[in-house]
């Protein structure tokens, strides 16, 4: 048996185990990685789970028992802090910088950055975008596909979009 055949057999076994245990199909990358180990590698809090395909940039601090779903962007270029027991759904993008002024000035102006803070007990719905410098209070809920460019106080529910 060639190494390719061994790999195929192993992947088929992992895929079958995932189907039986969780009734789901995932990418090969997810089959081969451990989300808790990924979170520990980045220094995130105990019990935190982070998919291996999450883009993590710069200074990102994450508390305990937080779930970071697939295809998420955590931009810590300007400093990003995420609390405990946060659910970050698939496709969420959290930013701490932008390059608008830098681009428009042909590189004469600096890249803008501001710290972004997500409190504890927060739910961020799928494909939501959190702009740089935003503070989301504890136990806030951000609905799916929301564009958040204003601070959200604790225990507030945000289901719409906001335009600049």
Residue 138 and residue 60 in one domain: yes
CATH number of the domain bearing residue 135? 2.160.10.10
Residue 9 and residue 67 in one domain: no
pLDDT score at 115: 98
Phi, psi of 158, rounded to the nearest 5 degrees = -125, 105
Domain membership of residue 20 (yes or no) is yes
Residue 16 and residue 46 in one domain: no
Residue 159 to residues 30, 123, 144, 155, Cα–Cα distance (Å): 30, 11, 7, 13
pLDDT score at 18: 84
Domain membership of residue 163 (yes or no) is no
pLDDT score at 155: 82
Residue 3 and residue 65 in one domain: no
pLDDT score at 163: 38
Domain membership of residue 122 (yes or no) is yes
pLDDT in tens, the chain (164 residues): 566 888 888 889 989 988 998 898 887 877 877 899 999 999 999 999 999 899 999 999 999 999 999 999 999 999 999 999 999 999 999 999 999 999 999 999 999 999 999 999 999 999 999 999 999 999 999 999 999 999 998 887 766 655 33
Residue 145 and residue 98 in one domain: yes
pLDDT score at 1: 55
Is-contact 98 134, C-beta < 8 A?
no
Residue 106 and residue 145 in one domain: yes
Residue 153 and residue 82 in one domain: yes
Total number of domains in the chain? 2
Residue 69 and residue 142 in one domain: yes
- Structural domain including 75 reads 35-157
């Amino acid at each position: 048996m060639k190494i390719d055949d061994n790999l195929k057999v192993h992947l088929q076994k992992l895929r079958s185990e995932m189907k039986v245990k969780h009734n789901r199909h995932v990418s090969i990358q997810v089959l081969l990685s451990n989300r808790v180990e990924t979170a520990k590698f980045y220094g995130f809090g105990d019990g935190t789970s982070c998919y291996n395909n999450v883009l993590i940039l710069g200074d990102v601090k994450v508390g305990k028992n937080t779930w970071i779903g697939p295809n998420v962007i955590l931009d810590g270029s300007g400093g990003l802090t995420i609390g405990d027991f946060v659910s970050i759904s698939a496709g969420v993008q959290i930013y701490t910088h932008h390059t608008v002024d830098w681009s428009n000035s042909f590189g004469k102006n600096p890249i803008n950055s501001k710290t972004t803070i997500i409190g504890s007990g927060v739910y961020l719905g799928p494909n939501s975008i959190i702009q740089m410098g935003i503070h989301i209070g504890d136990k806030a809920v951000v609905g799916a596909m929301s564009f958040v460019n204003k601070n959200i106080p604790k225990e507030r529910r945000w289901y719409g979009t906001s335009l600049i």
